C-alpha cells in the first residue's frame, strides 16, 4: 500500500509558476514510476507527466511540454511538478499517482492516488 499526499496548489496569475509536491509513505517508493494527472470540472482526468522509478526518464503530455518539469527525490519519498508559464487552461485539480509500468498515460494504469491539490490560473 502506498499513500500519497499532494501539496503546493493555489491561485496564480497567468505566466506565473507553482511547484507541486507529492509525498509518499512506505519504503517502496523508489520502485514505482510516478505520474501527475489533472482534472478540470466537467472533464475527464488527463495525463500530465510521468517519471521513471530511478528518475532517469520522463515523459510529458504535449500540452505541458517545455513548461512543466517532473522530478523526484527518492531519499525524501517525494515527487515534484514544477509548473512555469502557467495558462488559464492549466486550471484543474492535480493528482499524483504511482504505477509499476512505463510509459503509462491512462489513469486506470495507476494503482495508488493522492487526494489532489487545486491549481487555479487567473487571466
Write the CB contacts of 9 (distance below 8 Å, at least 6 apart in sequence): 18, 20, 93, 94, 117, 118, 119
Q: Is the separation of the CB atoms in 81 and 48 below 8 Å?
A: yes
pLDDT for residue 101: 86
Residue 98 C-alpha cell reads as 504511482
- Please name every residue paired with 119 in a beta bridge, in sequence order, or none if there are none: 10, 92
Q: Is the separation of the CB atoms in 33 and 98 below 8 Å?
A: yes
pLDDT digits (tens, 9 = 90+) for 2-49: 899 999 999 999 999 999 999 999 778 999 999 999 999 999 999 999
CA distance 7 to 103: 24
- Selected residue with higher pLDDT from 97 and 101: 97
Identify whether 103 is preceded by a cis peptide bond (ω within 30 of 0).
yes
pLDDT digits (tens, 9 = 90+) for 46-76: 999 999 999 999 999 999 999 999 999 999 9
Per-residue pLDDT band at 99 (split at 50, 70, 90): very high
Amino acid at each position: 500500500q502506498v499513500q500519497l499526499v499532494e501539496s503546493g496548489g493555489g491561485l496564480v496569475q497567468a505566466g506565473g509558476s507553482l511547484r507541486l509536491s507529492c509525498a509518499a509513505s512506505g519504503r517502496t517508493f523508489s520502485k514505482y514510476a510516478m505520474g501527475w494527472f489533472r482534472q478540470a470540472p466537467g472533464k475527464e482526468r488527463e495525463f500530465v507527466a510521468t517519471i521513471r522509478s530511478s528518475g532517469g526518464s520522463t515523459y510529458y503530455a504535449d500540452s505541458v511540454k517545455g513548461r512543466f518539469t517532473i522530478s523526484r527525490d527518492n531519499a525524501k519519498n517525494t515527487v515534484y511538478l514544477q509548473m512555469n508559464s502557467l495558462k488559464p487552461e492549466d486550471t484543474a485539480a492535480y493528482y499524483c499517482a504511482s504505477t509499476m509500468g512505463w510509459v503509462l498515460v491512462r489513469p486506470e494504469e495507476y494503482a495508488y492516488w493522492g487526494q489532489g491539490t487545486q491549481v487555479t490560473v487567473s487571466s
